[in-house]
Amino acid sequence: MTGPLEGIRVVDLTRARSGPTCVRQLADLGADVIQVSDPRAGDIAGSDSANLQRNKRSVALDLHHPDGLTAFLSLTDRADVFVENMRPSVKHRLGIGPDVLLERNPRLVYASISGFGQTGPYAERGGLDQVAQGMGGVMSVTGPPGTGPWRVGIAISDTASGTFLTQGVLAALFARERTGRGQWVHTSLLEAMVNFMDFQACRWLTDGEVPPQQGNDHPTFFPMGTYRCADGHVNIAGLKGLDAFVGALGLHDLLDDPRFATDEARKANRDAFNAACEERLAHMEVRDVVEQLNALDIPAGPVYAVDEVFADPQVQHLDTYERRVDAAGADVALLRYPVTLTDTPAAIRSGPPRSGGDTRAVLAELGYDDATVDALVASGAAADGTAAPGWLT
């Protein structure tokens, strides 16, 4: 079985995390991804890079060299998708902006990620995940009340923008089936981060309410949050079955207290309510709490460290990762695409490529003979991976 994007060729000129996140998803779905790397740069070693760069072939071309640029344009002339995440002006200075590539290849889907958008007062600023987290508002609602801003523990704006761009690419490919034309698809870290604020953003836009930090409590529903047990922490959606929840803790009379008798009263006195619950939970183990509450159809689950995540029987059942060999020959674990397609499944076909390791094969597909490729390598316009500058860590 082959992936749903078999036959789609993607040219990848991305760096860091947001762009590679998009390309990784396209590659996992079966696209033929050709990564274009700088001949003067080495491979980036390590498990993180391997996870981002799997399922690709690599061509090393110097886009500042006229012959390297010519080879690159030949590559995008035959591509279905081109993905880049440079600052907006850089692609135009290189002569590979959407106006140029779409004129040469009208069926191309040209996909871009930037820090702050392709136009506007901040367009040329360098974008980083933590900067986008701050400007998008997520740091203002993360962490315990009154403790100041907190960074979310994952690169959320990078992965969000990369995933949104994947959706845009797929939609543009679908539209091309009707119109015969490609188009420019673009997003940014800031747009993705603002969009991920979701209902909290709408609380301000519609209700005029600035959402505060709520720590591990749900922003609007209560009780729903994280509680300390004897041997760890557990997340509980007690609101799902409030009487059953307090009954399971042996706190049958808790709701008779005027401070907790109504939803609004419980919210106003949430610290006291949570303290009463944790006083009982402190004598119970996480496993017992989770099993007992789930038996009552009250959602509950343990709070894991990363090593505990992959020891969980459900995570193991889902086969969330696979092992492959990286470009240095080391065994690495790679997270699989987390969506199951029963007829055209996603797949990890290979580990990450060596920079320039596929230059000769790909250029041959474009009609370059051995002598011409030899000349490109000799001039520095291309590299074939035989004399890589080394590993960047």
Q: Report the C-alpha gap between 56 and 28 in whole angstroms.
A: 10
Q: Which is it for strands 43-44 and 32-37: parallel, antiparallel or unpaired?
A: unpaired
Strand partners, 276: none
Q: Report the C-alpha gap between 201 and 203 in whole angstroms.
A: 5
Q: For the chain, how long is the longest CA-to-CA vector?
A: 87
In the chain, % helix, strand, coil (3-state, to 5) comes to: 45, 15, 40
- Nearest one of 161, 192, 167 to 29, comparing CA atoms: 167
Element (H or E) spanning 320, and its range? none
Residue 58 near residue 385, CB atoms below 8 Å: yes
Catalytic residue IDs: 158
Residue 237 near residue 299, CB atoms below 8 Å: yes
Strand partners, 184: 110
* Euclidean distance between the first and the last CA atom of the chain, given in angstroms as a whole number: 36
Element (H or E) spanning 339, and its range? none
Q: Which amino acid is at 155?
A: A
Cis peptide bond N-terminal to 144, omega within 30: no
